[in-house]
Chain A
Amino acid sequence: MPKCTINGKEIEVKAGTTIIEAFYGGNERIAHYCWHPGLSVAGVCRLCMVQVEGNPKLQIACNTVITEGMKINNVSEEVKDSVKWGLDFHLINHPLDCPICDQAGECGLQDQYMEFGKYNPEMAEKKVKKHKVVDLGPTVVLDTERCILCSRCVRFTTEVSKTDELGIFNRGDRSEIGTHAGKPLDNKYSLNTVDICPVGALTSKDFRFRQRVWYLKDSDTICTGCSTGCNVKVYYNKEGLFRVKPVYNEKVNGHWMCDEGRDMYKWVNRESRLATGLKRENGALTMAAPGALVKELSATLKKYSPEEIGLVLTGQYTVEEYDTLIGTFASEFKTKNIFHWVNNKESFEAFDGILLRGDKNPNTKGLLKVLDKHGVQALWSDLEKKLAEKKIKVLIVAGPENGFVFPDVDQKLKLFAGAQQVIWLGSYRYEALDAMTNVSHQIPLKTCVEKEGTFINHDGLEQRFKRATTVVGGALTLTEVALLMAGKPLTIPVVKETFVEMSRRQDQVQLEHRKKNEFNFKRGAL
C-alpha cells in the first residue's frame, strides 16, 4: 500500500489508485471533465492538472498512478494558472447559451469556472459555429456548440451500454459528437449520457425546457420499475415530479439506471392518479374521503364469512404494508384467500445483462417472504376456481402502482368481474373500473415517493427508503387501510432517519452545484 501526500495531507492508498481517485478519497477538490468513476480513463480534457514533486512538468491526475512517497498538490500557482487557461481553452467556442440551456444551474462549466476559472477571456477570434438542436434519437437532443468533447458519452455507449452509437467526427475545432447514418442513439440506457455530460450538450427530450433545475427539490428513493431496485433521486416541486436520476450504489446499480425507470414520474404525477375515494351508490359514483370510506368498509367486511373474502396483491408495495395487511386478513378476517398477481409471467426471469429485469415489480421477493411468514400458500388458479364457483364474494385488490408495466390488467379485470363486490385499492387511475358495476369502492393509495418503507430486490437486498413529497393528499398506505379495515385507530409512524444509501455518487461535476444553490433549493416554489 503506497503512501502519498496530497496537498500536505499524508494518506495511504491501494496499489494502482490514480491520483484523481485519491483526491476524491481525501475529499480534495480537483477540476476535471472527462474522468468519470464509472468509465475508463480518457485523459482528454487536460483540466485535472497536478504538480508532483520532482517532476519538471505538470501531470494529469486521472491517468497517473500513485507510487510510494509521491508528493502531489493542485494548489500551487502554477497548477491554478494552468487550470484557469485550460478552462479558457474549453470555452473558446462555447456559446453564451446559459439562459436557454437546460444544464444551467448544474453545469460543470459554470461550476468550475466559478471555482477554478474567473479569468477575463483573451480570445479575440470569432466563435466557430456548429449544429444546434441535433436530434440524436428518441430520447436525446445534442447541441454540438456546447459540447466540450470530453468523450464521456462516447465511452458510455462503448463500455456500458455496448451499443457504440456515438462517435466523434471531424477534426480540430470542428470536431463534433454524432451518430452514424441510420443508427440513432436508441438504447435502453441512453439517458445516462445526459446525466454524465458535464455540460448542456446532451439534453433529455422528456425534460427539455419543462423546468429550470433550480426550481426543483430532490430526494433519494428507489426506482420501482423492476426488481433490480436502482437507487435514484427524484426531482420535484409542488406541481409534481419532473425527472429521475440515478444515485451511485455499488451493490445495486453502480452509477446508472435504465430509461424505463425514468418514466416513474409519469405515473406518480396527478394526471394518472386516482385522486379521491370513489364509492358506488345505487349505480352512481360519488366522491368521498378515502379514510372514511375504508372505515365504513370495516363493518361491511365483518358481515362476510372468512371463506368469502379474498385479497389480491401485486408486488408493488412495501414489506411493512404487506405485513400489516396480510397480518390483518389472516388474524382479523381469518382468511387465507390471499393471492399474488403476477403481471408478466412469461418474462419474469428475464435479465438484459446490465440492469433491467423482467420482473417489473420492486418487491416481489418481499411479498413472497411475508406470504411465507403468515403461511399463505394460495395459488392464482385457486382464485380463478373460487371465483367461478362463486365461493369468493368480496375481493379486495391492491392494484398496480405503476400502470405501465401491467399489460394484463384488462384480462384480470374480466376475472374480477366474477366477484359479487370488488374493493379496489390503488394509486393508478383505471377508467375501466368505473364501468364495472361490481366495483363498489376505489380507494386511492400513496405511491412509493409518498411513503417510507422497505423493498427487497431480486437479490434479496433490503433497501429502506424515505418519503419524498406528497402528490395526492388524502391517499392512504396499505398499512393505514389495514388498520382502518380492522377497525383500529391509525397510529402515527415514528420517522427514523432512513437514507437509501449513505455514500453519495463520487462525481462533483454533477452534484456539487447543489450546495451552492441552497438558496434557490429552499425557495423551490413557482
Chain B
Amino acid sequence: MSVMQNKSEISKWYLPGIFTGLGITMKHLVKNLFNRKDMITLNYPEEKYDYSPRFKGNHVLTVKKDGSLRCTACMLCATNCPAECIKIIASEHEDPAVEKFPIAYEIDILRCVFCGFCEEACPVDAIRMGPEWQTPGLAQSQFIYDINHLAYRPTLKGGVLTHVDDEERHKAGI
C-alpha cells in the first residue's frame, strides 16, 4: 500500500480544517435539539429498530399440531450449512409414520453466518429464521442453541406451527 502525503505549505495550516469539522458537528447538534423526531440515532436499548418480518435472524424449529418437533432429522440443513454449525443426532421414533426424529439438534450460533441456507434446504419447513436478533449471553455455552431453545423458548410462546401437515398430505395421497 502506498501512502499519499500532502506536503504543500497550505496543509500545515490545520485550524481551518478543525473549524469546518466542528461546524458540521454543531450543525447536527442544533438540528437534533430542535427536531428530535428526525434524529437518526436511537436510544438503544430503550428504543429498538423494527426490522422487516422477513429478516433472517435467530433460528426457530417449527412444531406440529401436537407440539412435537416437525424436524425429521434428515440432515439436509447440516449438509447445506456452509459454516458447518448444525449438529443433529437422529433416532428411531416409536411411531412408524414419523420414523426418524432428532434427539439432539444444536446450532452453534457464534459460527452461524445467517445465510439462511438451512431454511432453504429443509424439505418440511422445520427450520425457519426468525426476526429475533438480539441474543446476548455471558458464556460460550449459551450460544449453542439446543432443541429447547430453538423450538420452545419463551418468546415463541409454545412454538411456531409448521404449515406442512402429515395428515393432510396423506389424505391428498402424497
Contact = CB atoms under 8 A, between A and B. Distances in A.
B97 A99 contact: no
Determine which residue in A126, A132, A209 has the highest number of CB atoms from chain B within 10 A of its CB, and name it: A209
A212 B170 CA distance: 26
Range of interface residues on B (Cβ < 8 Å): 20 to 34
B129 interface: no
Nearest to B81: A526
Contacts of B90: 209-210
Interface in B133-174: 170, 172-174
Interface residues of A, number: 19
Contacts of B123: 99
B173 A520 contact: no
Interface stretch (B13-21, B33-41, B71-79): B71-79
B99 interface: yes
Interface string A493-526: 0000000000000000000000000001000011
A133 interface: yes
A129 interface: yes
A525 B173 CA distance: 37
Contacts of A215: 75, 79
A127 B91 contact: no
Interface string B55-89: 00000000000000000111110110000100100
B85 to A, nearest CB: 10
Contacts of B99: 100, 132-133
Interface string A196-213: 000000000000111010
A526 B96 contact: no
B101 to A, nearest CB: 9
A404 B99 CA distance: 31
Interface in A279-320: none
B124 interface: yes
B79 A209 contact: no
A236 interface: no
B120 interface: no
Contact of B84 (A100, A133, A526): A526
A100 B93 CA distance: 11
Contacts of A126: 172-173
A100 B73 contact: yes
A341 B84 CA distance: 48
Contact of A209 (B84, B91, B173): B91
A100 B97 contact: no
Determine which residue in B72, B78, B79 has the highest number of CB atoms from chain A within 10 A of its CB, and name it: B79
A208 B79 CA distance: 18
A339 interface: no
Interface in B86-142: 87, 90-92, 96-97, 99-100, 123-124
Contact of B170 (A129, A133, A210): A129
Given A127-B174, A520-B79, A99 B74 contact: yes
B173 A125 contact: yes
A435 interface: no
A329 interface: no
B124 A99 contact: yes
Contacts of A133: 96, 99
B74 to A, nearest CB: 3
A290 to B, nearest CB: 32
Interface string A96-138: 1011100000000000000000000000011101001100000
Contacts of B172: 126
Contact of B174 (A96, A209, A212): A96
Contact of B75 (A96, A208, A212): A212
Contacts of A242: none
B13 to A, nearest CB: 60
Contacts of A520: 79
Contacts of B73: 100, 209
A313 B99 CA distance: 47
B96 A99 contact: no
A100 B92 contact: no
26 contacts: A99-B72, A99-B74, A99-B76, A100-B72, A100-B74, A100-B99, A100-B100, A126-B172, A127-B174, A132-B96, A132-B97, A133-B96, A133-B99, A209-B91, A209-B100, A210-B90, A212-B74, A212-B75, A212-B79, A214-B79, A215-B75, A215-B79, A520-B79, A525-B84, A526-B78, A526-B79
Interface of B: 72-76, 78-79, 84, 87, 90-92, 96-97, 99-100, 123-124, 170, 172-174
